[in-house]
Amino acid sequence: MNQAFLHGLPPERRLKGYAWLGTILFALVMVKALGVLPGFLDELPQHLERSSIDTLGDAGKEKYTELVPFDLMLDRAFDYVREDLGFSVVTRFVSRRLKELIGVFDNILRGGNKGLGLSAPPWTALMVIAFVLGYSLKGWRLAFLSGGAVMYFAIFGLWKFAMETLALLAAAVPISIVIGLLVGILAYKRKWVELALLPILSVAQTLPHFAYLIPVVVFFGIGHQTGVIATIIFAVPPMVRLTLLGLQKVSPEILEAGKMSGCTSSQLLFRVQLPSARNELLLGVNQVIMQCLAMVVIAAFIGASGLGYRLLNKLQSLKLGQSLEIGVAIVLLAVVLDGLSRAWAEKKRDYTANLPFWKRFRYPILMVGMVSAAYVLSQYFPILHKVPRDLTVTYADTWDGLVDWIVLNWTDGLTNLRYFLIANVLAPLRDTLLYMPFSAVLLLVGGLGLILGGYYSALLTLAFLVFIGLVGWWDRAMITAYMVIFATAICIVVGIPVGIWSALSERRARTALFWCDTFQTFPSFIYILPVIMLFQVNDLSAIMAVIVYAIIPAVRYTVEGIRDIAPELEEAATMAGCNTRQRLVHLQLPVAIPHIMLGVNQTIMFAFSMVIIAAFVGTIDLGQQIFKALSETNIGKGVVLGLCVSFMALAVDHLVTRWARERRQLLGLD
């Protein structure tokens, strides 16, 4: 009983299982083709008519015929919490405090006559701070990158927006870290909190960015501080996860050593456990910063000002050149913050107690000196204080020209490609998925669950899909699924070979990993930019954006999987006289495949997250509906749609990681 519940078919019977599954599916589709499939097995009641799908742009006429009006129930529940329980008192309070906090940072960074009444610091002061920070943490490269980024903000006339974004981050990051730490510690101490949290964390990680925005807007209204709240909510889960992981990874011997040293339980926590979990915690801090930055850009949709808001404005008026410059600023900010926080996390602490004062504090002293110099100099040379508007640089026209050139010269080719893809690949794929009776899709996923992971997996994945069916978004979910499937397929076909090719030489592997790291720090919304520049706004651009974003993990995991094979195995293959091809086919791929599959899984997760953002450039799937819900501040609908995306992602995630884990065990890699 237990065996069948938690384990799939034994390997030798799998093939037969797949064959049976295929046969039944085929039979079901045949039955439908013959027109004898009963309606209740074919199509579910939906919000929107299926006919509305082909009339692009028109969202279709709404009707409420879903089986379970989950959205309305949620609406009522939220109403009850907000109005009857007086939750709005809390939200208003939080809102006000946050506004004050952001105000403080705003005043520091941009001047203003409140607070201490200081005027804005000269941009050169900030530049030297970034420079010295970069140098002290890592070296010249990071120093020039950080200083250069600050300079870029100043001379490209983006100073104000960059400082607004920084002020948002300065408020959101510490709060997220503290909340994440506290919740993580609580989950570590209380088993039931951990058990309750794990599913929430899973959903939180796969819930689309926009789905977070809707409840926040409903509870906190639109505005700058609302963006911070959404950002915090979005950035807390990874910190919780890493805190928990870090604490759980502390070796029992270290705990025992702490206890035998006579630690009380709070001494144990603060002086043994948390410091020993340092690596994970600092990784968590890095994650929080990156998540915050990604979300701060997206929070522009609900009125958070800063670089993201500016970008959104320029994008909506199709000023691509200016958008690009803002995009570069965001990317620079991301790369610098990632670089600084990572360098801080990896920094070896040196023991300095024996050094003289000036040596011990040489970086702070250097920083104070240079900042003072910047202040003094900027008194005499105003350009060092603030770059005046007429002196700022912009290459927007050049970029616009480039885009025009692309449109002029490439449009024909691209249009042809686009028509070809849509007519021959995309539309057929989409129509196939839509033609599939819903019962067939359920059968497919449940059957895979049963084969790979037993009844537990089957029931879990089925439950995810049944939810989508019941709430009435089946067709739209299938459209999301088709885009993800297509994008994933392209990512696999392109990304894995690229990964294999890179992994074959150490130098290429390092280059590939470096670029994967760099690209991964870019906030996902940024990927929309080049795609629009090349392909304009249409359905193909959305898929292109998804592919560009989601291909990163496919490459990275392939490189890692092949590179991390035990050296003895490689030596054994060499001594067995393998040539490069034999080594690849008989050693590297089979051993690396579980890790590569985890990469494919990440690719799928990335695709799900991007496909919703890509709704910005026009899709007709769940993402479009989430956007609509956001503009209508329709909380029930928005949350339900977000859950639909999340559940699809979780179902795939469950099946793939299950397979990969089993495979790793089979290979004895764990």
Partner 1 sequence: MAEPVIRCRSLYKIFGLGPADLRVDSDGVVAPAILEREGVVAAVNDVTLDVSPGEILIVMGLSGSGKSTLVRCLSRLIEPTSGSVEIEGADLLAMNDRELIDLRRSKMGMVFQNFALLPHRTALENIAFPLQMRGMKRRDYVERARDMIRLVGLEGRENNFPRELSGGQQQRVGIARSLAVEPDIWFLDEPFSALDPLIRKEMQDEFLRLQSLLNKTIVFITHDFDEALKLADRIAIMFNGSVEQIGRPEDIVLSPATEYVARFTSDVPRERVLRVGSVMEPPGDDENVADQAVNVSDRIEKVVEYVLGQRLPVPVVDDGGAVVGVMHQAHVLKILFPRSSPPETVNPD
Binding site for partner 1 (CB under 8 A): 251, 253-254, 256-265, 267, 271-272, 275-276, 278, 348-349, 351, 353-354
Closest separation between CB of residue 276 and partner 1, Å? Answer: 6
Please count the other Cβ atoms lying within 10 Å of the Cβ belonging to residue 665: 11
Q: 114 vs 347, which CB is nearer to partner 1?
A: 347
Closest separation between CB of residue 359 and partner 1, Å? Answer: 15
Closest separation between CB of residue 137 and partner 1, Å? Answer: 18
Q: 270 vs 381, which CB is nearer to partner 1?
A: 270
Closest separation between CB of residue 351 and partner 1, Å? Answer: 4
Q: 272 vs 296, which CB is nearer to partner 1?
A: 272
653: nearest Cα among 560, 553, 569: 553
Amino acid occupying residue 630:
L
Amino acid occupying residue 542:
A
From residue 534, give the alpha-carbon distance in Å to each of 3, 296, 311, 324, 540: 53, 25, 17, 12, 11
Q: 276 vs 536, which CB is nearer to partner 1?
A: 276
Q: 352 vs 372, which CB is nearer to partner 1?
A: 352
Give the H or E element holding residue 307: helix 307-316
User: DSSP class of residue 62?
Assistant: B
Distance CA 563, CA 573 (A): 14
Map 405-474 to HEC letters.
HHHHHHHHHHHHHHHHHHHHHHHHHHHHHHHCCHHHHHHHHHHHHHHHHHHHHHHHHHHHHHHHHHHCCH
Closest separation between CB of residue 71 and partner 1, Å? Answer: 47
492 touches 554 (CB < 8 A): yes
Please count the other Cβ atoms lying within 10 Å of the Cβ belonging to residue 383: 14
Closest separation between CB of residue 364 and partner 1, Å? Answer: 21
Distance CA 519, CA 560 (A): 16
Distance CA 290, CA 79 (A): 33
Q: 89 vs 260, which CB is nearer to partner 1?
A: 260
Distance CA 122, CA 131 (A): 14
Q: 273 vs 322, which CB is nearer to partner 1?
A: 273
431 touches 478 (CB < 8 A): no
Closest separation between CB of residue 266 and partner 1, Å? Answer: 11
Closest separation between CB of residue 275 and partner 1, Å? Answer: 4
Q: 254 vs 427, which CB is nearer to partner 1?
A: 254
